[in-house]
Amino acid sequence: MWLSRTIPFSERASMRIDIIGRGIDITGAIREHAAEKASKLTRYFDHIQAITLNCTRGDHSDHASFNVELIIDLEHHKDMVCNAQGDDLYLAIDGVVQKGSRMLAEYKDKLKTEKR
């Protein structure tokens, strides 16, 4: 008997996660934290091709010393971009991933309502 199984998109293709530091060194702990948080974005939307986190150090005149930009490359859609700033790089990463998850959830809801 032939049984077919639908393979979820997350198992079919791996998602690329790039963590880029400009003006700061990306340590293993930062890279691991960012990759762990970014990989959770697939809960909200399956068709993510790549995620890029650009981490930069702000000017000394800025109160926020770290800027984090999240770029989500979606299949058949233009890229989604989020920004977060903070004194702590880990908190800035958490904040930008939270914004990205909210954007993905809203986009998924929009797709569901359009199909009705």
Residue 59: burial class (beta carbons within 10 Å; 0-12, 13-18, 19+): exposed
Quote the pTM value. Answer: 0.80
Query: What was the pLDDT predicted at 38?
Result: 92
Structural domains of the chain in order of their starting residue, each with its CATH number: 11-115 (3.30.160.100)
Query: What was the pLDDT predicted at 12?
Result: 45
Residues in the chain: 116
In the chain, the amino acid numbered 6 is T
Name, in order, each residue with C-beta under 8 angstroms of 98's C-beta and a sequence gap of 6 or more. Answer: none
C-alpha distances out from residue 80 to 4, 9, 54, 94, Å: 34, 19, 14, 17
Query: What was the pLDDT predicted at 75?
Result: 86
